């Protein structure tokens, strides 16, 4: 089995090779499938990620559902740690670490206990719910304490492999939604 670094590089290259039109079409299909899930329909407090570069685009979902649900996005607060902060409109963003837009929020409130659905990014996934992210461990550290909220990954079908290497600290997801399939773990 290939190591995580090689899988990461390969899958980023695969993702980058998809044309913007194909990524947009696939992102729209993935969004439709997410919206059709009962756990999404029932969720009131949803943590999304802000898509970076060639990830599945979440911005249309964020903007659409922020009128009906409480939407949160990550803000990096320490070297390898983020907090979920409320989305209060696209105008209330500033570029954060890794050039990813983050919500501007000055309050001390903690929103983690409210989350009832977490949308997770990644570079590679397998049919057992394992994921490989960008290698910084942000989501693994974040998810290790949040076991009540279902974790749903959004990915292009090309990002799903049969099996990934897994370390003890890796946090799996519960569902993977692609443009072709929904994998229930």
Task: Express as a percent the part of the chain with pLDDT over 70.
Answer: 99
The whole model's pTM is what? 0.94
Residue pLDDT, tens place only, 68-101: 999 999 988 877 788 898 988 777 777 777 777 7
Residue pLDDT, tens place only, 33-61: 999 999 999 999 999 999 988 999 999 99
What's the number of domains the chain is made of? 1
Residue 1 has pLDDT above 70, yes or no: no
Kindly report the backbone phi and psi dihedral angles of residue 108, in degrees, each rounded to the nearest multiple of 5, phi listed first.
-100, 0
Q: Of the spans 100-104, 142-146, 176-180, which averages the highest pLDDT? A: 176-180
Domain range enclosing 58: 4-184
Cα–Cα distance, 70 to 88 (Å, whole number)? 9
Q: Give the CATH number of the domain where residue 110 resides.
A: 3.40.50.10420
Question: Do the strands 124-126 and 131-132 form a parallel or antiparallel pair, or are they unpaired?
Answer: antiparallel
Residue 135 has pLDDT above 80, yes or no: yes
Which residues lie below 8 Å from residue 145, measured CB to CB, with a gap of 6+?
112
């Amino acid at each position: 089995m290939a190591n995580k670094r090689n899988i990461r590089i390969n899958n980023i290259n695969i993702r980058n090779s998809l044309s913007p039109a194909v990524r947009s079409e696939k992102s729209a299909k993935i969004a439709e499938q997410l919206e059709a899930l009962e756990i999404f329909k029932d969720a009131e407090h949803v943590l999304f990620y802000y898509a970076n570069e060639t990830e599945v685009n979440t911005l249309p979902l964020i903007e659409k559902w922020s009128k009906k649900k409480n939407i949160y996005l990550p803000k990096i607060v320490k070297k390898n740690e983020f907090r979920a902060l409320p989305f209060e409109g696209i105008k209330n963003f500033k570029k954060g670490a890794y050039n990813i837009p983050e919500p501007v929020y000055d309050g001390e409130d903690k929103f983690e206990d409210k989350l009832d659905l977490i949308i997770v990014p990644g570079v590679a996934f397998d049919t057992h719910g394992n994921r490989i992210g960008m290698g910084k461990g942000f989501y693994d550290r974040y998810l290790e304490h949040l076991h009540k909220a279902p974790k749903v990954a959004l990915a292009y079908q090309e990002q799903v492999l049969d099996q990934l290497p897994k370390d003890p600290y890796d946090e799996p997801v519960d569902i993977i939604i692609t443009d072709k399939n929904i994998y229930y773990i």
